[in-house]
A = this chain, B = another copy of it.
Amino acid sequence: MGIQAGIVGASGFAGIELTRRLIEHPSFDLAVITSDADAGKPLAEVYPCFTGMSDLVFAQRDTPELQQCDVVFLAVPHTVALGIVPGLLAAGISVFDLSADYRLKNPTTYEHWYGVRHTSPELLPEAAFGLPELCPDEIERATQKHVAGDPVLVACAGCYPTASSLAAYPAVHADITTGMVNIQAVSGVTGAGRKATARTHYCAATENIEAYGASGHRHTPEIEQILGLPGQVVFVPHLAPLERGLLSTVTMQLKGHAAALYDVEKLQNLYEDFYHNSAFVSVLPAGEMPRTSSVVGTNRAHVGVAYQERRRTLIASCAIDNLGKGAADQAVQCANLVFGLPETEGLNTVAVPL
C-alpha cells in the first residue's frame, strides 16, 4: 500500500491538477479529495474527463478520512490554509500547502500584502519553502525532519515567483546585475481561478491582453525573498487568452565589470551550468526563447537567454504551466523529495505536443 494522500480544495484548478497527478502516481494513494462547493458529487460528474478513470467522490473538508492520511495537499485560497495547517501538523500529518500563507518568512510582510493577521507565525521558521531548484536547503531540511518521523510543512512557491525566479536567479546568484529586476509576466486564465466572474467570462478573456496589479502585486515580496533582493523587484503581471501557461520575461542590467566579462555566449553558459543537473528545468539552445505550449500539463520549466549588449541588458524568459510547475506538479515534486522518492516520479511526462 502506498503513501495515503488527501487533497483539500480538490475541485479548484490547482486541486484538480493535483488530483490527476496523484491518481496516476505510483507511490501516493489518493484516498480523499475534499471540496466545499462540490462535496457529495462524484469527481467524474464535476470533471467529466475522469469518467471511467476514478470513482472518487468529493468529501466535506472536515471529513474524518483526512486524519488517516500520511500527507495532505492544500489547494485552498490564501488565508484559508491558516485555519487548516496547524491542526493537520498536530495530528502528525505532513502538509504541502499551495497557498501563500506560509511562504513569506516575515509575518509582517504577509499581513501587509494579504490583509489578514497571521495566526500561526511560530510555524514560519520551520516551514520549508518549496522551490527545489533554487532553495534546495529548505527541502533538505524538511526531508531530514520527515526522516526523523516528524510531520513537515512545505509552503510551495507561487506561480509567478517560480517562473520569474527561475529566469532571474542564475544571474542574480552570480552577482552580475545591478538596479531593478524588471519583470513582466503573462498568465493564462486558470491563474484567475475557477470562480465564474466578469473577468473570467470567455467573452471578456478571449482576444484580450491586459496588465493588472500594476501598482504592486503580492507576488513581488515573494520574488524578492527568493532572489534575496528586498525592494529591488518591479513586477507587472498580465492576463492573456490562454487556458494554462505562464511566461515571465525579466530584464536586468549588468554591472560594469560584468559587462566587460560577459557576452551572450558566456551568459548562456552561466544559465546552462546553473541548471545542468536539474530534472525539470531546461535552458533552451542559444537564440531560442521558451513557448508556454511546450510545458503545458507538466512540471517542466523552459528558460531562454538573450543579451542586448549595447544596453548591457540581460533578458531571461521562463515558461511554465501555472498549474504544473507553478502549483500542483511542484507540490508533487516537493513531496517526492521529502518522502525519499525519485524526484520525477509521476511527473515524467511530455507535454501534449503542438
Contacts and interface: CB of A to CB of B under 8 A. Distances in A.
Nearest to A51: B282
Interface in A43-98: 45, 47-54
A284 B48 contact: yes
A172 interface: no
B179 A179 contact: yes
A138 interface: no
A349 interface: yes
Contacts of A211: 247, 249, 289-290, 304, 306, 315, 317
A317 B214 contact: yes
Copies in the complex: 4
B354 A352 contact: no
A282 B210 contact: no
A319 B280 CA distance: 33
Contact of A308 (B197, B215, B294): B215
A243 B180 contact: no
A201 B243 CA distance: 10
Contact of A196 (B16, B49, B201): B201
A258 interface: no
Contacts of A304: 211, 214
Contacts of A326: none
A240 B293 CA distance: 11
Contacts of A9: none
A293 B207 contact: yes
A151 interface: no
A297 interface: yes
A307 B180 CA distance: 15
A136 interface: no
B207 A296 contact: yes
A194 to B, nearest CB: 7
Contacts of A29: none
16 contacts: A47-B294, A47-B353, A48-B284, A49-B294, A49-B352, A179-B179, A194-B201, A194-B203, A207-B245, A207-B292, A207-B296, A208-B245, A209-B242, A214-B315, A296-B352, A297-B352
Interface of A: 13, 16-17, 19-20, 23-24, 45, 47-54, 179-180, 182, 184, 186, 188-190, 194, 196-198, 200-212, 214-216, 231-234, 236, 238, 240-245, 247, 249, 251, 253, 264, 280, 282, 284-285, 287-298, 300, 302, 304, 306-308, 310-311, 313, 315, 317, 319, 348-354
